[in-house]
Amino acid sequence: MRQTAAEGIQYDRIRAVEWEQDRVKLIDQRLLPAKLEYLLLDSLADGAGAIRDMAVRGAPAIGITAAYAVVLGARSRFREDPRRWRELLEPDLEFLVQARPTAVNLRWAVARMRGVINKVSGDPVAALLDEARRIHGEDIAANRRMGGLGAALIEPGGGVLTHCNTGALATGGYGTALGVVRAGVAAGRIASVYADETRPWLQGARLTAWELVQEGIPVTLIADGAAAYLMQLGKVRWVLVGADRIAANGDTANKIGTYMTACCARRHGVKFMVVAPTTTVDLATADGDAIPIEARAESEVLNYAGRRIAPEGARAWNPAFDVTPADMIDAIVTEKGVVEQPTRAKIAAMMTG
């Protein structure tokens, strides 16, 4: 029996990041779906390591984890020297920022925490923890808002395709593009959900599928290379993706394979939606050409589950992200509203409105 939003179904039970007993508690996403285990972070360096090694991933979740990591770093440095703690903390903050350079939310969160650092007096921990919790709570509220806005764009009865993971595991909770799925399914607007595997880390297979199964939302997993044929058969009406950075003109950096999926969507008349909080919009980045693309280790492509799958001597190219041009995006959904057929002027108006 179909359950609707009016019946109170929220599909919102997963939290990837929590502050618990004076430290950060993370779902170790590298182990999903085989194991649900948690990492307990006691230091800023632990937080940077979890971000760099992709135990936590997704731009909003990275930003939230970074905010809590700043609390841990400030606590340590204040205990070390209550008079010089700001000076001692500054290199730690830059170390944290460099953990994942493409995700603008990381730098944004550290900058916001630095604003508290610059004005707090005495022991900074309470004030910084309050700010980190605000960042976390604001993200969940924004996701719920985006979920409703995005779902309203989808005509009832259609299928959708997701790429990577954009759900509660990638955010403070509920999710960005997967928040649209949650809201759309709850409202009876989405009939079927397909998820790309998303190589080489398989976030779609391991994480998106896991989230939807946990929530009781039916999901069909496909190989990345099957997306074009799926669209050709008319199985989906929308592609829903998140973003790690949105440039001032609307060009969007997201997990590698997003641009390929956008090309297929354009060819087959499938609409393409980017769902991300305004913290992901970087007005200082003029366009996609100016977005730094993280290059990750060759071993992620040459190996699988600890075993080499390519012949010795073969090399690999492993960009973590690609850029989808704004003119291939039908809608950018943020907590501030919906920008259809995004342009520089429309993005600026949304951000200042």
Q: How many domains does the chain have?
A: 2
The reply to whether 112 sits in an annotated binding site is no
Listed as own residue / partner, the contacts of 202-205 with beta carbons closer than 8 Å and 24 or more positions apart are: 203/57, 203/164, 203/165, 203/255, 204/162, 204/163, 204/164, 204/165
Claim to verify: residue 124 and residue 13 sit in the same structural domain: yes
* 194-238: pLDDT as tens digits: 999 999 999 999 999 999 999 999 999 999 999 999 999 999 999
Among 140, 161, 179, give the residue marking a domain's end. 140
Residue 1 has pLDDT above 50, yes or no: no
Per DSSP (E only), the strands in 179-335 are 190-196, 220-222, 238-241, 245-247, 252-255, 271-275, 281-282, 303-304, 307-308, 321-324, 331-334
Coil, helix or strand for 231?
helix
Residue 4 has pLDDT above 60, yes or no: no
Claim to verify: residue 133 and residue 234 sit in the same structural domain: no
pTM of this structure? 0.89
Give the type of residue at 122. G
Q: What DSSP letter does each residue of 13-29 carry, written as one string?
A: ---SEEEETTEEEEE-T
Amino acid 104: pLDDT: 85
Alpha-carbon distance 32 to 27, whole Å? 9
The reply to whether 254 sits in an annotated binding site is yes
Claim to verify: residue 55 and residue 198 sit in the same structural domain: no
Claim to verify: residue 66 and residue 161 sit in the same structural domain: no
Amino acid 246: pLDDT: 97
Claim to verify: residue 10 and residue 94 sit in the same structural domain: yes
Domain CATH number, residue 112: 1.20.120.420
Which of 102, 29, 50, 65 lies closest to 254 in space, CA to CA? 102
- For residues 327 and 344, the answer to whether their CB atoms sit within 8 Å is no
Q: At a CB cut-off of 8 Å and minimum separation 6, what does 233 contact?
A: none
Claim to verify: residue 231 and residue 287 sit in the same structural domain: yes
Among 140, 157, 183, give the residue marking a domain's end. 140
* 7-16: pLDDT as tens digits: 446 688 899 9
Token couple for 350: 């949304």
The reply to whether 58 sits in an annotated binding site is yes
Residues in the chain: 353
Claim to verify: residue 134 and residue 167 sit in the same structural domain: no
Question: Mean pLDDT across the chain, nearest whole number?
Answer: 95
Claim to verify: residue 129 and residue 221 sit in the same structural domain: no
Claim to verify: residue 152 and residue 301 sit in the same structural domain: yes
* 54-98: pLDDT as tens digits: 999 998 999 999 999 999 999 999 999 999 999 999 999 999 999
CA torsion 282-48-195-241 (nearest 10°) is -10
Strand partners, 304: 307
Amino acid 3: pLDDT: 38
Claim to verify: residue 103 and residue 227 sit in the same structural domain: no
* 237-291: pLDDT as tens digits: 999 999 999 999 999 999 999 999 999 999 999 999 999 999 899 999 999 999 9
The reply to whether 232 sits in an annotated binding site is no
* 118-140: pLDDT as tens digits: 999 999 999 999 999 999 999 99
Among 105, 120, 140, give the residue marking a domain's end. 140
Claim to verify: residue 223 and residue 121 sit in the same structural domain: no
The reply to whether 203 sits in an annotated binding site is yes
Domain CATH number, residue 336: 3.40.50.10470
Alpha-carbon distance 10 to 186, whole Å? 7
- Residues belonging to the active site: 244
Domain that holds residue 124: 5-140
Amino acid 19: pLDDT: 98
Claim to verify: residue 346 and residue 230 sit in the same structural domain: yes
Listed in sequence order, the DSSP H helices in 104-152 are: 104-119, 125-151
Give the type of residue at 334. T
